[in-house]
Amino acid sequence: MAIILFDNQYRKSFFPITATKALGNVRLGILKLKDWWQLLLQQPVFIATENYLQHLYPLASKEEHIFIDAAILPDENLIQKINELSTNQALIDSTGVIAGKTTIDVTTFNPINFIQVFDNTMMYENVTRLKQPFHFFQYNEKVLKAQFTVLTKNKSPQKISSTNKVVNEVDIFIEEGAIVEHCILNASTGFIYIGKNATVMEGSIIRGAFALCENAVVKAGAKIYGATTIGANAVAGGEIKNAIIGDYSNKAHDGYLGDSIIGEWCNLGAGTSNSNVKNNAGDVLLWNNYFNQYENAGKKCGVVMGDYSRTAINTSVNTGSNIGVCCNVFGVGLMPTLLNHFSWGIDKQSKYKLDKAMVDINNWKQFKGKQISEDEVMVLKYIFEHL
């Protein structure tokens, strides 16, 4: 038996973040969601998603499995209920199936009528469910706290160098191989996790909650406030607050990033800053790609940026911006709050040519010793042609 994290019918609500990946492969807190479930349930985790993405993820064998909606955030009570499920039994809420045990062939899986598979369903309303892209940074602190507690249990951290100024050392965990010197680490506001072989350069000021994942770098003099996650092999600098930066992305220079989520393999040019609060202190609206309408994101919402997108130096990003996959963001003035996939500039008149985009992505990947894969090209070509 294995765990299968499935994308529900509302997965486009998380665009552009999930345009190039399954929701279960998104990082939240310290871990990607699939790894978080695997750690808690101690079972192999597979992913069921859209056809154009499924080739990125191996399929589980044909036997009894537990299917879990990838939009659900786990907690202790829910884990217990899932472990108690019988065959053809499911937990549901007003949105649909939360989790269910079944022998259904994953190749025939359809999230729209999935509830009909089960003979026995039980209502379970006390669940935290991701529904919007701004939920990633709104729930990041809660998830980071939960993951930190599990990941560091019965483990010994690397000793913190005496060159650092530390507040509440008991809530700071530094993994093996990390380098942190001449910094201020204040965990009185939340846990601080420094991943394996990560680097925090001199003069950086970090307030928890904060996660710096494996091989990531915080540049000298950075000012970071919680709850912030810097993904694996990413680079962070300038001022950052309540944001998630995806794996291999760069925000290496001065500029402000707040209440935002940045996809993987993105680059924010020097001086790029986003607004996260409206001048009138009113509610911020963010575009929802599933419902094709703007949704209320609360008082603070910066930018949601898809994978492989880049901004020019000194780009001013508007409050509540949705920037699609593989956009080259440049131009004069404040950018519009919605840029479609493969946008070239901010005037909405030009589209990034696919062949050029692939070459440019590969050039950026070579900076970090990687190359664009055929699987990535297939996904990006589909997005270019159909989304």
Per-residue model confidence as pLDDT tens digits over 264-282: 999 999 999 999 999 999 9
Please give the pLDDT value at position 107: 85
Provide, rounded to the nearest whole percent, the portion of the chain with pLDDT above 90: 93
Query: Span 103-113, mean pLDDT?
Result: 87
Residues contacting 52, CB < 8 A, separation 6+: 378, 379, 382, 386
Residues contacting 175, CB < 8 A, separation 6+: 157, 158, 193, 194, 195, 196, 197, 198, 214
- Contacts of range 49-56, beta carbons closer than 8 Å, 24 or more positions apart: 49/6, 49/7, 49/11, 49/22, 49/23, 49/24, 50/7, 50/11, 50/22, 52/378, 52/379, 52/382, 52/386, 53/20, 53/21, 53/22, 53/379, 55/375, 55/378, 56/21, 56/22, 56/25, 56/375, 56/379
Please give the pLDDT value at position 248: 99
Kindly give the pairing relationship between strand 165-167 and strand 184-186: parallel
Query: Span 21-49, mean pLDDT?
Result: 97
Query: Span 2-24, mean pLDDT?
Result: 97
- pLDDT confidence band for 134 (50 / 70 / 90): very high
DSSP, collapsed to helix, strand or coil, labels residue 80 as helix
Please give the pLDDT value at position 357: 98
Residues contacting 239, CB < 8 A, separation 6+: 222, 223, 224, 254, 255, 256, 257, 258
Residue 140 one-letter amino acid: N
**pLDDT tens, position by position, 155-168:** 999 999 999 999 99
Dihedral pair phi/psi, residue 135, rounded to 5°: -65, -25
Please give the pLDDT value at position 349: 86
pLDDT of 332 over the 90 cut = no
Give bridge partners of residue 209 from the DSSP assignment.
Answer: none
Question: What's the mean pLDDT when you consider all of the chain?
Answer: 96
Residue 92, both tokens: 């549901």
Provide, rounded to the nearest whole percent, the portion of the chain with pLDDT above 70: 100
Q: Which helix (H) or strand (E) holds 211?
A: strand 210-212
- Tallying the residues shown for the chain, one arrives at 387
Please give the pLDDT value at position 1: 82
* Cα dihedral 293, 295, 14, 99 in deg (nearest 10): -110
**Cα–Cα distance between 92 and 100 in angstroms, integer?**
9
Query: Span 219-241, mean pLDDT?
Result: 98
Query: Span 295-301, mean pLDDT?
Result: 98
Neighbours of 132 (CB within 10 A): 18
DSSP, collapsed to helix, strand or coil, labels residue 280 as coil
Determine if the peptide bond prior to 227 is cis (ω within 30°): yes
- pLDDT confidence band for 109 (50 / 70 / 90): confident
Please give the pLDDT value at position 63: 86
Instruction: Please check whether residue 92 is in contact with residue 123, taking contact to mean a CB–CB distance below 8 angstroms.
Output: yes
pLDDT of 226 over the 90 cut = no
Please give the pLDDT value at position 108: 84
pLDDT of 333 over the 90 cut = no
- pLDDT confidence band for 61 (50 / 70 / 90): confident
**Cα–Cα distance between 185 and 43 in angstroms, integer?**
35
pLDDT of 194 over the 90 cut = yes
Please give the pLDDT value at position 126: 87
Instruction: Please check whether residue 224 is in contact with residue 201, taking contact to mean a CB–CB distance below 8 angstroms.
Output: no
End-to-end CA gap in the chain: 35
Cα 15 to the chain's mean position, in Å?
11
User: Which phi-psi region, left, alpha or beta, contains residue 179 (left: φ > 0; alpha: ψ -120 to 50)?
Assistant: beta
Nearest residue to 315 (alpha-carbon basis) of 358, 239, 360, 254? 254
Please give the pLDDT value at position 214: 98
**Cα–Cα distance between 218 and 223 in angstroms, integer?**
9
